[in-house]
Amino acid sequence: MQCSKCKEPAVISEPARCKKHFLADFEQKVKDTIERFQLLQKGQKIAVAASGGKDSLTIMVLLKKWYENVTAITIDEGIEGYRAKTMEDLQRVCKEQNIPLITKSYKDFTGYTLDEMLKKQKFHPCTICGTFRRHLISIASKEFDVLVTGHNADDEAQTILMNLLKGNTDIFPRNGPKTGVGAKGFTQRVKPLYFCTEKEVATFAFLNGFVSEFIECPNAPEGFRYLIRTVLNNHGTKETKQHILEQFLKMKETFPTKSVELPPCKNCGEPSARETCKTCEFLMVVQS
Ligand code: SF4
Ligand code: ZN
């Protein structure tokens, strides 16, 4: 296969691109997304939620190149055979790029690693893990103007389908490339990789040497997301995912644009739709 721009050997298909043209196109796509949705401004204090996987390393390095004031925030869940390797990649890239790294862990927050919590109680791993991660990142990002996440087009198309199938359409206004605009108590969240497919991000991260191998959390196959991802990858195409995102964005324009003002949780003070937030509820069970 040849690059359709220069006829050099292609490193990726759909469209066929050589290394040089793929890397240039990828960066331009991310820049276009930032511009289209006005995701970031020069001079902002930027935090990147970084797991050390391909997505977060890619966006972290690109933003450091374009914006300078970038800090990484990472959460150590305590997952045997997974976190140590991604943490190693994250620490290496942060050091190479001179990016400060803030680390929070479930062990420090709850007294237990995720593995220990799952041995102690019958939790669904991703439900408790996602709740604690959102809470810790939300606390750690308060001193920043904006929080960047590495969600890619595959992640976002999956999220839209998952919410639709579960009937969670009330949270649609909180999905999309820019969320939490003007919401009291939340740092605004943005997703510059919104239109980049998982394959494109993996290729970019691999060609730049950010990751040596792609490893996945051993709990991932237990989640509903895994099922939706398998269906989309086996029966959908790049265009299917793109189509889901563009149709969702069209639909989002019709949602009322009111800013959310949630009352504080009576235990931790974080904004919550319930009297006691989900994090505090889980914490009580874990520590009982
Ligand atoms: Fe946590 Fe589930 Fe993600 Fe694993 S797959 S890191 S358990 S949310
Ligand atoms: Zn709380």
Domain spans, the chain: 1-36, 40-212+219-260
* Residue 53 Cβ < 6 Å to ligand 1: no
Rounded (to 5) percent helix, strand, coil in the chain: 50, 10, 40
Q: Residue 78, CB half-sphere, CA atoms under 13 Å: how many?
A: 19
Neighbours of 70 (CB within 10 A): 26
* Residue 125 Cβ < 6 Å to ligand 1: yes
Question: What percent of the chain is predicted at pLDDT more than 70?
Answer: 97
* Residue 227 Cβ < 6 Å to ligand 1: no
Mean pLDDT over each residue of the chain, to the nearest integer: 92
Atom 8 (ligand 1) nearest CA: 126
Give tens-digit pLDDT for 30-49.
999 999 999 999 999 999 99
Using alpha carbons, list the distances in angstroms from residue 40 to 16, 99, 190: 30, 18, 8
CA distance 131 to 138: 11
Average pLDDT over residues 196-201: 95
Give tens-digit pLDDT for 83-118.
888 999 999 999 999 999 999 999 999 999 999 999
**pLDDT confidence of residue 259:** 63
Atom 5 (ligand 1) nearest CA: 220
* Residue 129 Cβ < 6 Å to ligand 1: yes
Average pLDDT over residues 183-191: 86
* Residue 78 Cβ < 6 Å to ligand 1: no
Q: Domain 40-212+219-260 classified CATH 3.30.465.10?
A: no
Ligand minimally distant from the alpha carbon of residue 125: 1
* Residue 217 Cβ < 6 Å to ligand 1: yes
Helix or strand holding residue 103 (H, E): strand 101-105
Question: Is residue 165's pLDDT more than 70?
Answer: yes
Ligand minimally distant from the alpha carbon of residue 283: 2
- The pTM assigned to this predicted structure is 0.93
Given a contact cutoff of 8 angstroms between Cβ atoms, the answer to whether 152 and 201 are in contact is yes
C-alpha 21 – ligand 1 centre gap (Å) = 34
